[in-house]
Amino acid sequence: MYAFSKFDNGKAAGSLELYNQFEKKVKALWSQFDNKEKAQIFFGFINRGVLNLVFYESHFKPWILENMKEFDHDALSSVAFGLIVLKETDKQLWRVFV
């Protein structure tokens, strides 16, 4: 998914159905991904503009709150970019950055 988000300088890559199917797989395998992989998946969905907000609230947001202190620079920058794009206003979430 991360590769799709970077394909051809951000031009459309993959159909919406591809992302819908990918979301199902990510949900099913969520516990098997490490923090870096989850950050790349988050970035991929955000960068393509196809992140389902219910999916964000149920999977990504709790994961960010619980694991941000363990993120390496790459994961942290991907997550920060995503939160800015989402215009996230949850103060508790942003406090975790400090």
Residue 59 belongs to a domain: yes
AA identity, residue 15: S
Tell me which residue has tokens 């947001």.
Answer: 61
3-class state of residue 50 by DSSP: coil
Residue ranges making up the domain that contains 63: 15-95
12-58 pLDDT per residue, tens = 556 777 788 889 999 999 999 999 999 999 998 898 888 999 999 99
Q: What is the number of structural domains in the chain?
A: 1
Tell me which residue has tokens 């949900």.
Answer: 27
pTM of the model: 0.82
Residue 72 belongs to a domain: yes
Residue 3 belongs to a domain: no
